[in-house]
Amino acid sequence: MPPPGGYRQFNFHRTFPKIVWRPGVVVATIFGASAYGAYAAIQEKKRAVTEKFEDVDINTALEPFLKAERDRYWLKLIAKNRDLEEEVMKDVPGWKTGTWYGEPVYFTLGDKWWDPATREVFAHSYQFNENRDLLWRQHSEYAGPKFYDNWFPKSISKYFW
Amino acid sequence: MVISKDVHLPSESDLTVDQEITLSTPWLKAVAPYMAKHCEKEANEFMLRRKELEDPRATLKEGAALTNCGVKFLQSLKRSCLAETERLANCVDQSSAKLYLSKCHDDQKQLDACVETNLHVTRPKLGYFSLPHVHNSAAPPPPLPIRDYKAEAAKVLAELPDDYHLRKDYRKYNDWRYNFAES
């Protein structure tokens, strides 16, 4: 016999589970994550730029001091080079220092100063000195003695950085 | 080398100062803003004259004055704030590979306070040295070299002998090409 009041109604429709990732939630999550990612990336960029700029500002403050020292060193080096050329070429007849047998290499008007080119400054030096000067920005951070110093003869290891 | 004997180079004594600044990079980065602020007048004078004259020989005196000012400041800093400076320099040396100051702001604030009380130099705000600064130098700027090419050419032409073989062909630049592909 059926219970009093009858059986409860039977659900004969198709049923769907209640899902967490409804379309609205998915869209909101994607937009939220993108917005937070953009915000975080912008903040990180600002932080990195500020960190670098702090360093750049200090370098700018230092520049006059380094420039003054560099000028003195540079002029000393050039004077030394000129004396060396005088010494090396003293037995060559007709040679005049700073010229090609008396003919000036460059045509300079007035008393204008031109820095000589790197190749000329390093003319009386070994090639690796010039390379080291040109590639100075790529030198390794640590310039002290290395653990592998004794593994190679000096003639080879001076080329390792 | 292209520097001949006619080019005047200053003597060894002009190129030598009593004391160069021999600090290493972390120490320089630690003290640079105070030093530059303290020697701002000398630095501006040196950089302005250096830029104007474009000649390292002409600004040796200003450069030596700047270095002396920096050395004097560093000596007074050593007397008053050596411990703080050393802490900041060690921090700069060891906290990052690129010797940035960003991890050392605590030590930097201590040094700021020490320098301000003892040497009366306030650390400028970030970006101060990257701003353009107006500096009025006592030395007048060098005259702008303006050449009168027409007068020079007229002078050269006047010096030529009467039977000089002046070129009569006035061809266009492109007419001097050897082949079509060139230039």
Give bridge partners of residue A100 from the DSSP assignment. Answer: A103
Res B63: pLDDT: 97
Q: What are phi and psi of A146, to 5 degrees?
A: -105, 160
Widest Cα–Cα separation across chain A:
137
Low-confidence stretches of chain A (pLDDT < 50) are none
Q: How many CB atoms lie within 10 A of CB B40?
A: 19
pTM of the model: 0.80
Find the mean pLDDT for residues B48-70: 96
Whether the CB of B9 is below 8 Å from some CB of chain A: the reply is: yes
Q: B33: which chain A residues are within 8 Å (Cβ-Cβ)?
A: 57-58, 61
**Helix (H) or strand (E) run with residue A127 in it:** helix A127-134
According to DSSP, residue B144 is labeled: P
Cβ-based contacts of B101 with chain A (< 8 Å): 54-55, 58
Residue B74 has pLDDT above 80, yes or no: yes
Domains of chain A by residue range: 23-157
Rounded to 10 degrees, what is the CA torsion of A110, A80, A82, B52? Answer: -10
Test B126 with A74 for CB contact under 8 angstroms: no
* Pick from B46, B57, B98: CB nearest A75: B57
Q: What is the dihedral of CA A47, A53, A57, A60, to 10 degrees?
A: 160
Q: What is the DSSP letter of A100?
A: E
ipTM for the complex shown? 0.83
